[in-house]
């Protein structure tokens, strides 16, 4: 009996040694971290600008040759919404269907071009065809290019949130600010390039230099309350 108990104890010990690595491997994570988890922060998000083609249709009645006041206002609204500044250039076309419409197209093109010229926008005549069956042939089409803002992809804003290797959310700092800037900017082309500065008023600039040279600058040691926003002099 002693021999049998000794044999059972030896077998149990061997079995325990065999099962120990399996138990340890089941409790540990097989993923091995072989490098630091630090990662380079992405560049701050910026709204992107892109030039897009836009067009406006000026409809005419069957026998009309001049624009109506309603169509003049609609054309002016198109110019404002497309941020077409004075000095811009557009194209105009008359996709006619009959000989009678083609004969009237000359006067209609002149009416639209004169209205554009009055707003400071030059134009040239091009050839165009209707892409749908909704065209009657009595329209004048204005083709232009404008600048549109493309918002960046922001996790949690306009894109789903994704997690990294350590289950942390991937974020882009400043992304929401970039989207808001693109939504608020009045003229999207300002994000692509700045505007030229207007001529400076030489008189206030020269007066500031004169005060500096004569030691009559505005005091700043007493706080901002002592610095006026505007000074009116009789000089």
In a domain, 12, yes or no: no
**pLDDT of 15 above 70:** no
Q: Are 41 and 173 in contact (CB under 8 A)?
A: yes
CATH of the domain at 68: 3.30.1330.60
Contact 187, 82 (CB under 8 A): no
Q: How many domains would you assign to the chain? A: 1
| Residue at 78 is within a domain | yes
Structural domain contains residue 176: no
Nearest to 85 by CA among 140, 147, 141, 142: 147
Within-domain flag for 93: yes
* Percent above pLDDT 90 for the chain: 29
Q: Give the structural domain span for 118.
A: 53-145
pLDDT category of residue 144 using cuts at 50, 70 and 90: very high
CA distances from 210 to 41, 213, 215, 219, 224 (A): 50, 5, 8, 15, 22
Q: Which structure tokens are listed for 22?
A: 């399996």
Q: Is residue 192 part of a domain?
A: no
**pLDDT tens sequence across 158-188:** 666 777 666 666 677 788 888 888 888 877 8
Assess contact for 15 and 148: CB atoms under 8 A: no
Kindly report the pTM of this predicted structure.
0.53
Q: Which residue, chain included where needed, has tokens 């600039």?
A: 205
Burial label, 63 (beta-carbon count in 10 A; 0-12, 13-18, 19+): exposed
Q: Which residue has the tokens 């105009």?
A: 92
């Amino acid at each position: 009996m002693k021999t049998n108990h000794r044999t059972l104890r030896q077998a149990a010990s061997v079995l325990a040694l065999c099962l120990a690595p399996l138990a340890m491997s089941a409790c540990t994570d097989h993923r091995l971290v072989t490098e630091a988890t630090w990662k380079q922060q992405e560049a701050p998000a910026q709204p992107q600008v892109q030039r897009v083609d836009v067009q406006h249709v000026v409809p005419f009645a069957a026998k009309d040759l001049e624009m109506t006041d309603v169509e003049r206002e609609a054309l002016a609204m198109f110019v404002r919404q497309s941020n077409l500044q004075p000095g811009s250039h557009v194209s105009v076309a008359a996709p006619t269907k009959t000989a009678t419409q083609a004969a009237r197209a000359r006067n209609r093109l002149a009416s639209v071009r004169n209205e554009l010229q009055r707003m400071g926008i030059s134009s040239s005549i091009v050839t165009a065809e209707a892409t749908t069956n909704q065209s009657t042939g009595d329209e004048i089409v204005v083709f232009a290019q404008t600048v549109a803002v493309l918002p960046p992809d922001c996790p949690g804003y306009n894109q789903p949130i994704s997690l990294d290797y350590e289950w942390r959310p991937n974020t882009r700092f400043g992304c929401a600010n970039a989207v808001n800037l693109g939504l608020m900017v009045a003229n999207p082309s300002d994000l692509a390039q700045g505007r030229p500065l207007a001529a400076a008023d030489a008189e206030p600039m020269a007066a500031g230099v004169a005060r500096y040279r004569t030691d009559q600058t505005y005091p700043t040691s007493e706080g901002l309350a002592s610095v006026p926003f505007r000074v009116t002099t009789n000089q």
